Structure formats: structure tokens, C-alpha cells
């Protein structure tokens, strides 16, 4: 054998699994189709959000959370309704929420990971206590963002490489899982041409040779289908969300191609919940791209007015940051695949954050002085201001008439009527005169500002959007951004891949997004946010520990 375990994919789940295997003294071969510069995969580009339950950070802010409340939120969001395909996902969900409420904090803290002091309130839901969404703030931002989440696992794995326990095979593209007597015993694939491209850049697929490696077990940790538009379209849930968008922009690098799903399936693994995905409605084109068609997401506060492509304000619960899937369905129901934020300078300065480690250099660099200076200074943060000046999806204007004229220049659908847009904004603005209102979005803003983290750092004080003193006015064309695969290879709680006969495929394991973050779809239909990195960690940990303890 070339190793005791082969790990296919050097992303976060692969690093976590390898870390756990090394702790157990196992010899590991890690294969990846990209070069060493891409160690950590797409987790490196993330904001580093982590879902914890009843954490020390929450308790310091007076947030009362519990396993029971988090489980209620998870099940209300997941909507598990498939007895067979969800059988293992339900069990994974309970175990993951338990992990988030107990061991997860100490597990990561002991590795050196720290979080910022303010807990974010992401994906607030649709208004029902037992429905979708987070009842309380649970989004813990890693101090150091995605690169730090990668670092705390990469460092011990690289130390194990120097000690001879780990070998890496970069530019090794796995094309086949080797099966003998019904068990997975290795991999075959293509050697790709060497490259020294920087992290995230699209690399060539020129084949210069072949390879084959054998091991006692193989763990697939290769990610999902976020940059594979044909697979997204093939599996798009039209009946549930509406027609597949004609224009989609990728929020993940080009190597997130979904190839290993079909390869593992050919070896006997079972892929479930193919139609469950998590794509964002607030995507914008990156004016300074790294990978092809590079897109990022605006992570908004709740105050921007949200209009569909025809210029009609979206209904509840389609407010910024509340219910991603409901908003997706409302947008696509118009027959168009984009929508608009309308806001002002006061809101953009307080409420706009951008996904991605590279869009948050202060927190990514763990520079406290820079963080305080940029987050407390007047004006939009530097990366946001750059999009205001250079982003193709942004319009900035002193008056509403000029704003609408700019919006119509970049519209992919109907021309907007300035008078109708003004009517809707004025109706909302009249509600601001009192501390109470019947406007549902203003009521949600008032509730958000009861939380100290939102009042001080995330939610602008209610005001008239057409107040010239709060200007200029800003519009953002929002596109559908592809991101996460919620279905995948079905696995048991040891991350063993389940076969078509309902039993584990001998020698085959899967973790991370390729396994639906556990069980073939631990999130069900909807995510609570901060749960993707954590799902990679939890499922990678399960795979590594199961094989590390195996005799």
C-alpha cells in the first residue's frame, strides 16, 4: 500500500480528516488536482463564520441560546421530508447541533482559533418560531477569517508531512476509485501539468501522465458543484424555487467542479438530495476578479429596500438577511433572474459587508488597529467603497430620477418607472416618523436594534431613505451567486459512504460538501449560516477519528 488512508481533496474537510488520522499515527496520502498554493481549498476564501450554540461569546452579550432552541431552528429550516434520503441527515443534524453546543468551542480553541467579540445574526428567518431561521445571533466571525480556519488544521498536517506521516500529491486528479472484491482499495487518475499559479487562479487541465495509489481506505473530500453551471442547471429545483436563472455568477473557484460525486457513485456510493442547493440572491461581479467570473456576496444588514426586476418591493419575509430561499423564489417568480437594493450612504456605511477573506483585510490580517480604524471611521469600509466606485452592479446618484436612469442602463429586463419607485419609497419613509410602524421591515429593524451587537455595529438607525442629508442614493443590481451543494454522498455517523443497498461501501468515506456536509444533506433545504465550515470540520473529524481508531 502507498498509505494507510488516501484523502482526495486538500480542502478544509480533507485537512481536518488528515489531522485526526495523524493524531492516531496513521500514514496519509493527500491528493488534490490543484497546486500547493491552494491548500485549504475554498475555505480559505470564506469569511470564516462559525455556528456555535450557547457559546461564551453569546453569553457575554446576553444571548440566551440552548441546544433545544438551536435544534428547533435547525429542524424548522431543514424541513426534512424524505424518509429514505434524509434518514442519515436527520441523525447528522442532531449530532452536529450537539457538537456546536458542547465540544466545538473547546476543540477549535485548543487549536488556537479565536473569534471576534460581536456575534452576528445571520439568516433571521420567515417569522415563525418553529420555521426557518436563527432565533438568536449565532454567527461567530473567526479572527483571521477563512485563512485562520485553514491555518489551525494545516499547520499540524504540514508538521506531519515533515515528520513523514503525510505525503501530498498535488496536481493529481482522481478519475476513478479502484474497487476490488466490492471494496474501495485505491485511486487512479491523471497527472496534470505543473503550475505555480497563485491561489484561486484557474489552472490548466493538460494531462502529462497517469498514477495509481492503493490504501486501506479512501476519504473523498472534494467539495460540491458551485462552479459547475451545467450540474447546477441539471439539478435545479424548478418546482420549488422557480425557473433556473439564465445568468448565474460563481462564488467559488473554478476547481469546485463536482467531478468526484459521479466518480464515487460509479464505485457504488449513493448520491442523495441532488436538488438541494444553497445559492445567494445578493451576488455581485467582482471588479478585481481572481477566478473566472469571480463573484462575491453582499452580506447586508436589514435596512436596504429590496425590489424585484420589475420595480416592485419584495414582500415579507424577503428582507435583507432573513430568508434566502423565500427571496430566491420571489425573485424568480417575476421571470427575471436579478433584483435591486435601493439604499443610501448612511446605510451602506453601517450595514454592508462583503463575503470573502480578501474583502476583509483588517480581520483577515488580524490587525486590531486597522480593524478599529476602518470599522469606526466615517465612510464606507475600503473594499465596499471600491465597489461603489468600480463595481458594474452599482449605481450612485444624488437624486432618485438619476438613480433610476442609471439602474435602467444596467438592467437585464424591464425599464423601471421612477414615479412608481418613488411612491413605494415615500410610503416606507412616512412610517419612520414614529418609533413604531406597520411596515414589517421597519418592525424587523426595530427588533434587530434591541440586540446590542446590531445596534452598535450592524444596523443603521431608521431614517428616510430620500433624506438628502443621508445621501447619495445607491442602487445595487443583485445577481444569483452559486455557492453550496446541500445534497451529496450519503454517509453514516462515521462518514462511511452508504451504497445503493443501504450498507456502507467498504473502504469508502466522504466528508465536507461532497457529503452534503454529513449524511448526504445535514442542512435539508435551508442553511442557518456559519454551518458550512463547521460541517466540514465535524464530518472530516468523524472520518478521521473512525479510521484512526479502526484496527
According to the model, what pLDDT value does residue 218 have?
Answer: 98
CA distance 229 to 129: 35
First to last CA, the chain: 16
Domains and CATH numbers, the chain: 5-223+486-549 (3.50.50.60), 282-481 (3.90.700.10)
- Model pLDDT for residues 12-54, shown as the tens digit of each residue: 999 999 999 999 999 999 999 999 999 999 999 999 999 999 9
According to the model, what pLDDT value does residue 551 have?
Answer: 64
Going through 460-533 in order, the beta strands assigned E by DSSP cover 473-485, 488-489, 496-498, 504-510
Peptide bond into 317 cis (omega under 30): yes
According to the model, what pLDDT value does residue 126 have?
Answer: 78
- Model pLDDT for residues 316-337, shown as the tens digit of each residue: 999 999 999 999 999 999 999 9
- Model pLDDT for residues 506-549, shown as the tens digit of each residue: 999 999 999 999 999 999 999 999 999 999 999 999 999 999 99
CA distance 88 to 96: 12
CA distance 207 to 535: 33
Cβ atoms within 10 Å of 230's Cβ, excluding its own: 9
The average confidence (pLDDT) of the chain is 96
Max CA distance (Å), the chain: 74
Residue 204 has pLDDT above 70, yes or no: yes
| Helix-, strand-, coil-residue percentages of the chain, each rounded to 5 | 35, 25, 40
According to the model, what pLDDT value does residue 379 have?
Answer: 81
- Model pLDDT for residues 113-131, shown as the tens digit of each residue: 999 999 999 999 977 888 9
DSSP-derived pairing of the beta strands 496-498 and 504-510: antiparallel
Non-local (6+) Cβ contacts of 269 within 8 A are 489, 490, 497, 498, 499, 505, 508, 510
Question: What sign does the dihedral 196-200-203-205 (CA atoms) show?
Answer: positive
β-partners of residue 297 are 283
- Model pLDDT for residues 335-381, shown as the tens digit of each residue: 999 999 999 999 999 999 999 999 999 899 998 887 777 776 778 88
CB 32 within 8 A of CB 125: no
- Model pLDDT for residues 272-328, shown as the tens digit of each residue: 999 999 999 999 999 999 999 999 999 999 999 999 999 999 999 999 999 999 999
The larger pLDDT score, comparing residue 456 to residue 125, is at: 125
Q: Residue 103 has which C-alpha cell? A: 465540544
β-partners of residue 28 are 5, 166
- Please, is 368 exposed, middle or buried when counting C-beta atoms within 10 Å of its C-beta (0-12, 13-18, 19+)? exposed
In the chain, % of residues over pLDDT 90: 92
CA distance 372 to 87: 47
Amino acid at each position: 500500500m502507498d498509505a494507510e488512508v488516501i484523502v482526495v481533496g486538500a480542502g478544509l474537510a480533507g485537512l481536518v480528516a488528515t489531522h485526526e488520522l495523524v493524531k492516531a499515527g496513521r500514514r496519509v496520502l493527500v491528493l488534490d488536482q490543484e497546486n500547493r498554493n491552494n491548500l485549504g481549498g475554498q475555505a480559505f476564501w470564506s469569511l470564516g463564520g462559525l455556528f456555535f450554540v450557547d457559546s461564551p461569546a453569546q453569553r457575554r452579550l446576553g444571548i440566551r441560546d440552548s441546544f433545544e432552541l438551536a435544534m428547533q431552528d435547525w429542524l424548522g429550516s431543514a424541513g426534512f421530508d424524505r424518509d429514505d434520503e434524509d434518514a442519515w441527515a436527520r441523525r447528522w443534524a442532531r449530532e452536529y447541533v450537539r457538537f456546536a453546543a458542547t465540544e466545538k468551542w473547546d476543540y477549535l480553541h485548543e487549536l488556537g482559533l479565536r473569534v471576534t467579540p460581536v456575534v452576528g445574526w445571520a439568516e433571521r428567518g420567515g417569522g415563525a418560531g418553529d420555521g426557518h431561521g436563527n432565533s438568536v445571533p449565532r454567527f461567530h466571525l473567526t479572527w483571521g477569517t477563512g485563512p485562520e480556519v485553514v491555518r489551525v488544521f494545516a499547520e499540524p498536517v504540514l508538521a506531519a508531512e515533515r515528520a513523514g506521516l503525510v505525503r501530498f500529491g498535488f496536481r493529481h486528479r482522481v478519475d476513478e476509485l479502484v474497487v476490488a472484491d466490492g471494496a474501495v482499495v485505491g485511486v487512479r487518475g491523471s497527472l496534470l501539468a505543473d503550475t505555480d499559479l497563485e491561489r484561486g487562479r484557474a489552472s490548466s487541465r493538460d494531462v502529462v501522465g497517469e498514477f495509481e495509489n492503493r490504501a486501506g481506505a479512501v476519504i473523498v473530500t472534494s467539495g460540491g458543484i458551485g462552479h459547475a453551471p451545467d450540474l447546477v442547471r441539471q439539478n435545479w429545483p424548478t418546482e420549488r424555487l422557480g425557473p433556473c436563472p439564465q445568468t448565474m455568477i460563481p462564488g467559488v473557484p473554478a476547481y469546485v467542479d463536482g467531478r468526484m460525486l459521479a466518480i464515487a457513485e460509479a464505485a457504488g456510493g449513493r448520491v442523495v438530495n441532488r436538488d438541494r442547493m444553497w445559492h445567494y440572491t445578493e451576488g455581485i461581479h467582482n471588479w478585481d476578479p481572481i477566478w473566472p467570473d469571480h463573484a462575491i456576496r453582499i452580506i447586508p444588514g436589514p435596512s436596504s429596500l429590496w425590489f424585484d426586476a420589475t420595480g416592485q418591493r419584495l414582500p415579507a419575509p424577503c428582507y435583507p438577511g432573513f430568508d434566502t430561499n423565500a427571496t430566491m423564489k420571489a425573485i424568480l417568480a417575476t421571470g427575471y433572474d436579478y433584483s435591486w437594493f435601493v439604499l443610501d450612504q448612511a446605510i451602506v456605511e453601517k450595514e454592508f459587508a462583503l463575503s470573502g477573506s480578501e474583502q476583509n483585510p483588517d480581520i483577515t490580517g488580524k490587525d486590531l488597529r486597522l480593524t478599529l480604524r476602518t470599522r469606526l471611521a466615517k465612510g464606507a469600509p475600503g473594499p465596499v467603497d471600491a465597489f461603489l466606485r468600480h463595481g458594474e452592479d452599482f449605481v450612485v446618484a444624488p437624486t432618485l430620477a438619476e438613480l433610476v436612469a442609471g439602474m435602467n442602463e444596467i438592467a437585464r429586463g424591464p425599464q423601471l418607472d421612477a414615479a412608481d419607485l418613488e411612491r413605494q419609497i415615500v410610503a416606507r419613509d412616512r412610517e419612520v416618523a414614529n418609533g413604531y410602524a406597520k411596515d414589517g421591515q421597519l418592525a424587523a429593524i426595530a427588533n434587530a436594534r434591541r440586540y446590542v451587537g446590531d445596534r452598535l455595529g450592524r444596523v443603521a438607525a431608521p431614517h428616510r431613505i430620500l433624506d438628502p442629508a443621508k445621501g447619495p442614493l445607491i442602487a445595487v443590481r443583485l445577481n444569483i451567486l452559486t455557492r453550496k451543494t446541500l445534497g451529496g454522498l450519503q454517509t453514516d455517523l462515521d462518514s462511511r459512504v452508504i451504497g445503493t443497498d443501504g450498507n456502507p461501501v467498504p473502504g469508502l468515506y466522504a466528508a465536507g460538501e461532497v457529503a452534503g456536509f454529513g449524511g448526504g444533506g445535514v442542512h435539508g433545504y435551508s442553511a442557518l449560516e456559519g454551518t458550512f465550515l463547521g460541517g466540514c470540520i465535524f464530518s472530516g473529524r468523524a472520518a478521521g477519528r473512525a479510521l484512526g481508531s479502526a484496527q
